[in-house]
Chain A
Amino acid sequence: MSADFPLLSLTIWLPIIGGLWVIFAGSRVHDGAVRNDALLISVATFLVSLLLWQGFDNGTADMQFVERLAWIPAFGIEYYVGADGIALPLILLTTFITPLVVLAGWVVIKDRLSLYMGSFLLLEGMMIGVFSALDAILFYVFWEAMLIPMFLIIGIWGGPRRVYATIKFFLYTFMGSVLMLVALLYIYFQGGSFAIPAMHDVTLTLTEQQWIFIAFLLAFGVKIPMWPVHTWLPDAHVEAPTGGSVVLAAIMLKLGGYGFLRFSLPIAPDASMSFDWLMIALSLIAVVYIGFVALVQQDMKKLIAYSSISHMGFVTLGFFIAFQVAAGSGSWDAAATGIEGGMIQMISHGFISGAMFLCVGVMYDRVHSREIADYGGVANTMPVFAAFMMLFAMANAGLPGTSGFVGEFLVILTAFKANVWYAVLAAMTLILGAAYTLWMYKRVIFGAIGNNAVAQLADVDAREKLILAVLAATVLLFGIWPAPLFDMMHASVEQLVSHIAQSKLP
């Protein structure tokens, strides 16, 4: 394939155009065709993204697959996309998860199927757009547009309190992103360009950086989400259909983490350093406080949602201990480990939380309840399912050999270098994570058959087995051999680290 073939654009626009086609043509064809089309488009997108991986050069930190066209020349706004070692893993995660989500809604969704499938495809394209946009306005457009399909997914196919949940979700994220737009405009007026790489080089005073940092923090902190702006997530998850929860947990949360790496840290490194105590404190609160909160949840989805927040605490912790680690050890190498640990935590959490929500979905489709108390002894009637869920539960508890271990391990190792107590608090997850995950597993899966509904459960069918097996293989593969992901990230993370090591004060 020639070098100037717009492969990245294809990955963005194939699902968007495909999604629109599914929505508008879908009402005229039967549901079977809609499903097939949606699966075909999502798998094709995944294959295209594999070509990206195949053509990606691990050796350079430069943006690759760059496409740059004028869009609104009057303001210097461009259609400018590209991917580096930070964006590509997340793009691959997106294209990997989406076919599974399409499959998860295969027979379950009966109402307005074409709109459902189309929304997910649109969402996929827009999320890839966010990860590849190198123009701030393009980024912002994708960032906001993404809310619409998600809003529809929760609002139409959600549970009984979906209206409360969608409005909360929308207001929270919208509040944050409006401030982000203000910050982006401010940087544009200072630096004269909307190109994100150019923004990285704009000189800003500490006060300017701090205001910008806070604006970004609200946008990305809500998305990831960080304590105390996290309460939209459990509500959104509880009300969202399974597919919505999967995309939300597996991919959308990562947009926040990506934002910190692409905007906050490189644009406002001095502010990041001055606020790192705050970020570390909030991260550790997420790990410990939310761990305790997860323990007492009665609703499985809420429990996994809280578990996600707790796991995301490791992401922000890994990113923002960088300054103290570098100060303590005198070298930025270890700081890179923390950032890579946070990155791998994002990827791995994508697989594991997605799998956990799918597992809850499998049970919900049969029993129509998410309450832990409505189950008990599922292993008796669904042994294969129980085995899969065991693996994912262990991965969620960070068992070595699963991908869930890698990120937590590296972040704890790095946190120790910053401050022993950070590591002590972060390592609490070893106990808390195991406690809330396995206690739920015990009450739901183990035990004698709890009630009549459980007694009549049928084990996973071929479709469900396929979805879970693909995720299980991935979780194990990256647990046993995470090196390829690291090789992909190294150059870009190193460049990021050397960038944030330089003060940008005038």
Chain B
Amino acid sequence: MGTLCLIIVLAPLVGALLAGLFGRQIGRAGAHWVTSGAVGLSFLLSALVFWRIVVGDAPTYNENLYTWLSTGGIDFHVGFLVDELSATMMVVVTFVSWMVHIYTIGYMHEDPGYQRFFSYISLFTFSMLMLVMSNNFLQLFFGWEAVGLVSYLLIGFWFTRDTAIYANLKAFLVNRVGDFGFLLGIACVLMYFGSLDYQSVFAAAPAHADTTISIIDGHEWSLLTVICLLLFVGAMGKSAQWPLHVWLPDSMEGPTPISALIHAATMVTAGIFMVARMSPLFEMSTTALSVVLIIGAITAFFMGLLGLVQNDIKRVVAYSTLSQLGYMTVALGASAYAAAIFHLFTHAFFKALLFLAAGSVIIGMHHEQDMRKMGGLKRYMPVTYWTSLIGSLALIGFPGFAGFFSKDAIIEAVHLSHIPGSGIAYAAVLSGVFVTALYSFRLVFLVFHGEERMDHHTKEHLHESPKVVTVPLIALAVPSVLAGALFVGAMLFGDYFGGSIVVSAEHDVLGELGHHYHGVFGMITHGLLQPPFWLAMGGVFAAWYCYMKRPDIPRRAAESMSLVYRILLDKYGFDRFNDWFFAGGARSAGRALWRGGDVALIDGLIVNGSARAIGWWAGIIRHVQSGYLYHYAFAMILGLLLLLGLFVHGVIA
């Protein structure tokens, strides 16, 4: 198992190094063969590991690889923990990554940075695997930051575009704000647990149930609440939860395969994974769960609304991703960790599919991303159309499709939850279903149906994308349909996760839900009678009515509710506020401290001032040394008289 894990992790790294350092020597074909080959190998071996751990009941693998360093009696290790949770993540990461590698061959084939691109995405796969396979907080943070680095590099892949290099800096800094909390959380764990290894921390957690920590004098807070909230700040950055969500829509400046791989399927779910991994800690703090629940609900509902007013095809999918990440977070807050991971799992397939399909449309449209200039593409791009439709149905939770099982489970779990805030969260996720269906089918209708609004030249060149593009679409469409039905029984209600996820008895909503679960078909037929289904259908119908039947309605609605519309277009004003307050404020503070502190006060007043003072003093003293003998003689007489006077009066003996 150890060797297997090592190969899984190192193969993409080797691929990345070969393509990155020797890109010119191995050529374009060499680069894509070596990287896709390596990631393919990783996927196959991950599947083998998955088989052994999840299906074959092999014991959890938990070994240290080497000691990173040891100091002050604490050893920091690099090592792997492979259990049901990480095995699932490994399969998702390597599979989506492999598909994206293949897709990239077609999508990027004209790009001069071809080898560099492959090097980055393989490096990403390596980093992500290090993150999910870690057995300690330190390595988790390693992977955490490394995926952030690759995300930064890839958003800014087309580094001559001003928007891209603005977006990547923003993404990195916003993530660093999250990491700020995350790192403090890790410091807190180390202080109280004396170790960063998951196993020892989780084992010791119950003993700290009543430990309190005083951060502000006189206020005692529960240690585990503080730890969980700090760690969750990290998750909010990486998984783009409100109010740290601002970087994700802008990250769409990166090439589309990246939006699929990093900013939809894998990296952004790292926060979800992390909280699920920390379930033994979160379970001990209802306060922390409540915060997680509410942040998730805000993200799920309000980010979905933004998707309604976007015209850029990728941005619609991006806001949809934000909203879906909110759903996962809500599930975490409701202690339905398995449902969160299950939604992560199904979402990875259908959201990667939707992004890659959007990319296929963008290729077909000659890099046009504005949906107002599309329409009727169904005729020209049948494979893209059908796979998009499958992805959209999965996304809105149409019964039978993958997203149905995971999303329905989340909604039901929140409904059953008693964590404070679950009422609001239930309302948010339920109304979110309508919003999701509306923006998803708005996209489908605007892009694939109706009037053909593109210009003549584009239309002439419209055709289905090449095989390297469509094959990954089909390969992702399959699990977008099946992954839900195949895994729902085991993942949600069976003993799939074993000991890798811990849920305390009073929070166990999924267990309660399991009593009502009678197989896949039962769940589907039950789903047909539930509000989410009718809300989704309502959304689809509204989309059809507004964008096919009566295209004047959206415009009229925008006019009559212009304030709401403007707020949505302004993305609630977060970007403007952040630019003004944080970016502008930091620069002003820097200038004030520099000009006022360093230049004026320290250098001006103290350093150069004392130099001037010495100069001034010397200028006066200089007059004493006039060179005239009688001045000196006079000074001597004065001095003599002074001494004599002092002597006479007994001041000096």
For window 194-244 of chain B, which residues contact chain A by CB distance below 8 Å? 213, 215
Whether A446 pairs with B183 at a CB distance below 8 angstroms is no
Q: Which A residues from 460 to 506 make CB contacts under 8 A with B?
A: 480-483, 486, 490
Does B607 lie within 8 Å of A416, measured CB to CB?
Answer: no
A377 to B156, CA, bound (A): 12
A410 at the interface (CB under 8 A from B): yes
Chain A, interface SS category: helix
Contact B602 A296 (CB under 8 A): no
Indicate if the CB atoms of B598 and A231 lie closer than 8 Å: yes
Q: Which of A400-443 contact B (CB under 8 A)?
A: 400-401, 405-406, 409-410, 412-417, 420-421, 423-424, 427-428, 430-432, 434-435, 438-439, 442
A/B interface sample: 28 pairs, CB < 8 A: A228-B606, A231-B603, A292-B593, A297-B594, A336-B72, A337-B71, A337-B74, A340-B71, A394-B149, A400-B146, A401-B142, A401-B145, A401-B146, A405-B145, A412-B183, A413-B186, A415-B187, A416-B188, A423-B184, A430-B176, A431-B180, A435-B176, A435-B586, A445-B159, A446-B156, A482-B69, A483-B68, A483-B69
Contacts of A434 in B (CB 8 A): 172-173, 176
A59 to B72, CA, bound (A): 15
**Contact present for B176 and A431 (CB under 8 Å):** yes
- Known A400-B142, A435-B176; further 19 A-B contacts with Cβ < 8 A: A228-B606, A289-B593, A297-B594, A336-B71, A337-B74, A399-B146, A399-B149, A400-B146, A412-B184, A414-B72, A416-B184, A416-B191, A430-B180, A431-B180, A438-B173, A439-B169, A447-B165, A483-B69, A483-B70
Give the complex CA separation of A337 and B169 in angstroms: 33
Assuming A231-B603, A416-B191, is B590 touching A293 (CB within 8 A)? yes
B169 A442 Cβ-Cβ under 8 A: yes
Cβ–Cβ contact A482 & B68, under 8 A: yes
Assembled-state Cα–Cα distance A293/B603 (Å):
14
B154-188 to A contact mask, C-beta < 8 Å, 1/0: 00100110100100010011001101100110111
Bound state CA distance, A335 and B597, in angstroms?
A: 32
| Cβ contacts under 8 Å, A293 to chain B | 590, 593-594, 597-598
Q: How does the 8 Å CB contact mask read for B54-89 relative to A, with 1 for contact and 0 for none? A: 000000000000111111111000000000000000
**Chain A: interface size category:** 35 or more
Tell me, rounded to whole Å, the shortest Cβ–Cβ distance linking A447 to chain B: 6
**Cα distance A483–B68 when bound, in Å?**
6
Q: Which chain B residues numbered 540 to 559 have a C-beta less than 8 Å away from chain A?
A: none
A390: chain B residues at CB < 8 Å are: 153
Indicate whether B587 reaches chain A with its CB closer than 8 angstroms. Answer: yes
Instruction: Kindly state the separation between the CA atoms of A436 and B650 in the bound complex, as whole angstroms.
Output: 67
For A410, what are the chain B residues with a Cβ–Cβ distance below 8 Å?
A: 71
A379 within 8 A of B: yes
Q: Which residues on the A side are within 8 Å of B145 (C-beta)? A: 399-401, 405
Asked if A365 is at the interface of the complex by the 8 Å CB criterion, the answer is no
Q: Say whether A448 faces chain B, with CB atoms less than 8 Å apart.
A: yes
- Which residues of chain A have C-beta atoms less than 8 A from B68's C-beta? 480-483
A52 to B213, CA, bound (A): 47
B159 engages A446 (CB within 8 Å): yes
Tell yes or no: A262 within 8 A of B by CB: no
Q: Is A9 an interface residue (CB 8 A)?
A: no
With an 8 A cutoff between CB atoms, is A144 at the interface?
Answer: no
| B173-A431 in contact (CB<8A) | yes
The 4 residue pairs across chains A and B that have the minimum distance between CB atoms: A337-B72, A416-B187, A296-B590, A292-B590
CA distance A439 to B169 in the complex (A): 7
Q: B612 — which chain A residues lie within 8 A by C-beta?
A: none
Q: CB of A334 within 8 A of chain B?
A: yes
Q: Does A294 contact B (CB under 8 A)?
A: yes
Whether A231 and B159, one on each chain, are in contact in the complex, defined by CB atoms closer than 8 angstroms, is no
B47 near A: Cβ within 8 Å?
no
Considering the chains assembled together, what is the distance between the CA atoms of A394 and B142 in angstroms? 13
A60: Cβ under 8 A from any B Cβ: no
Interface centre among B69, B153, B162, B190 (most CB of A within 10 A): B69
Chain B residues whose C-beta falls within 8 Å of the C-beta of A292 in the assembled complex:
586, 589-590, 593-594
Nearest CB of chain A from residue B492's CB, rounded to whole Å: 34
- Asked whether B215 lies within 8 Å of A420 as measured between CB atoms, the reply is yes
Contact with B along A285-302 (1 / 0, CB 8 A): 000010011111100000
Instruction: State in angstroms the CA–CA spacing of A478 and B177 once bound together.
Output: 26
Chain A residue numbers with a CB within 8 Å of B184 are 412, 416, 420, 423-424, 427
Chain A: CB-nearest residue to B591: A296
Q: Which residues of A have CB within 8 Å of B146?
A: 399-401
CB proximity of A276 to chain B, nearest CB, Å: 18
Please indicate the chain A residues that have their CB under 8 angstroms from the CB of B51 in the complex.
none
- Docked pose: A166 CA to B136 CA in angstroms: 49
Bound-complex Cα distance A186 to B179 (A):
48
**With contacts A231-B602, A296-B590, A481-B66 known, is A417 near B191, CB below 8 A?**
yes
Q: Is A380 an interface residue (CB 8 A)?
A: yes
On whether the beta carbons of B598 and A486 are closer than 8 Å, the reply is no
Q: State whether the Cβ of B141 lies closer than 8 Å to any Cβ in chain A.
A: yes
Report A-chain residues with C-beta under 8 Å of the C-beta of B73: 333
Asked whether, in the complex, the Cβ of A296 is within 8 Å of the Cβ of B587, the reply is yes
Set of chain A residues within 8 Å of B215, measured between Cβ atoms: 420-421
The complex places the Cα of A435 from the Cα of B162 at a distance, in Å, of 17
Distance in angstroms from A348 CB to nearest chain B CB is 12
Which residues of the partner chain A approach B74 to less than 8 Å between Cβ atoms? 333, 337
Residue among B71, B177, B191 making CB contact with A431, cutoff 8 Å? B177
**CB of A168 within 8 Å of the partner chain:** yes
Cα A296 to Cα B213 with chains together (Å): 37
| Bound Cα distance from A294 to B587, whole angstroms | 10
Closest to B148 in A: A399
Instruction: Give the residue name and chain of the B residue nearest to A413 (CB).
Output: B187
Contact with A along B589-624 (1 / 0, CB 8 A): 111011001100011001100000000000000000
Chain B residues positioned under 8 Å from A432 (CB to CB): 586
Least Cβ distance of A458 to chain B in Å?
17
Instruction: Return the chain A residue nearest B145 by Cβ.
Output: A400
What residues on A are CB-neighbors of B188 within 8 Å? 416
With A292-B589, A295-B586, A416-B188 in contact, do A486 and B69 touch (Cβ < 8 Å)?
A: yes
Q: What A residues does B159 contact at CB under 8 A?
A: 379, 445-447
Give bound CA distance, A294 to B215, whole Å: 30
Docked complex Cα distance between A294 and B591 (Å): 9
Known contacts being A231-B607, A296-B587, A435-B173, is A400 close to B594, with CB within 8 Å? no
> What chain A residues lie within 8 Å of B156 (beta carbons)?
446
In whole angstroms, how far apart are the Cα atoms of A293 and B597 in the complex?
A: 9
Measured between C-beta atoms, what is the minimum distance from A399 to chain B in Å?
Answer: 6
Could you mark each residue 382-397 of chain A with 1 if its beta carbon is under 8 Å from any beta carbon of chain B, else 0? 0000000010001000
Complex: A406 Cα to B72 Cα, angstroms = 14
Closest to B67 in A: A483
Contact of B141 among A168, A289, A400, A447 (CB under 8 A): A400
Complex alpha-carbon distance, A217 and B165, angstroms: 43
**Complex Cα gap A438–B72 (Å):** 33
Task: Decide: B587 and A446 in contact? CB cutoff 8 A.
Answer: no
The residue on A at minimum CB distance from B196 is A413
A379, B168: Cα distance in complex, Å: 16
Looking at the assembled complex, report how far the CB atom of B173 sits from the nearest CB atom of chain A, in whole angstroms. Answer: 6
Chain B residues whose CB sits within 8 angstroms of the CB of A405 once the complex forms: 145
User: A415 — which chain B residues lie within 8 A by C-beta?
Assistant: 187
